[in-house]
Amino acid sequence: MIDTGAIRFVYFDLDDTILDHARAEKLALQDLHHQPHSVFKGHSFDAVLEAYREINPIVWKKYSEGSLTKHQAKVGRFTQLLEKLNIESQVDDTLLAETYLSCYANHWSLISGAMEGFLKIARARPVGILTNGFSEVQRAKLKQFPQLESVSSAVIISEEVGVLKPDPALFEHAAAVVGVPAESILYVGDSLHSDVSGGIGAGWKVAWFSEQSHEHEDVWSFTDWSLLIDLLEGDARLAH
């Protein structure tokens, strides 16, 4: 179990930790699929979703490693999607990518208990946001949910720094911004690759929003935000 008494700062991931990215992604693709003149006509929605979710994590991993540019990641995933589904379309891939992001923005929502938990923790300990993602998209999310930024001592968006999670340089930058040593930071996130591996690699403690467990002594798993509150409620202020 993590020693919460040593924690002086809590950073939070954004997507699929506080905001329900998976739901928004699915609904955005569904919007594209249901358009009157959809390029995906003739393919089931399940097939489109399955193919996209196979391609997108690989694209993001390559982007985080620096082998793809932002444009190649944002647009290339749809180029690959059309190729995988054997769709020959006259639709511009860039337009398709932008339409997806527009639809995606219509479906942002909070994970159950996340805002309440985040704000309760923020009343007891300094907090911040540390997220991958395209800067303009992540900034728009924060604008839609302004409480997240208003109580945060730091908001770190990987694209604005120039490196992505799990690169230790991003975590080192985030620690330096708040002036807290690595061993005194807790990172709350859902991704094994970006958040857990990144946090461990930087010497941080990690609260992994997952049903899985991890053998590392500095990783604790939780499936409900109330459990995270329970972990941190050694600080009496979290009870109020």
pLDDT tens by residue, 109-118: 999 999 999 9
For residue 35, pLDDT over 80 is answered with yes
Higher pLDDT, 16 or 89: 16
Superfamily of domain 22-105: Putative phosphatase; domain 2 (1.10.150.240)
Which residue stretches of the chain are H helix? Answer: 21-34, 45-65, 70-84, 93-105, 114-124, 135-144, 146-150, 158-161, 168-178, 197-201, 225-232
CB 127 within 8 A of CB 151: yes
Domain with CATH 1.10.150.240 in the chain: 22-105
Q: Is 146 exposed, middle or buried (0-12, 13-18, 19+ CB in 10 A)?
A: exposed
- Residues of the chain with pLDDT > 90: what percent? 87
d(CA 240, CA 150): 20
d(CA 13, CA 22): 14
Number of alpha carbons in the 13 Å side-chain half-sphere of residue 105: 15
List the CATH code of the domain at 4-20+109-239. 3.40.50.1000
Domain with CATH 3.40.50.1000 in the chain: 4-20+109-239
Average pLDDT of the chain is: 93
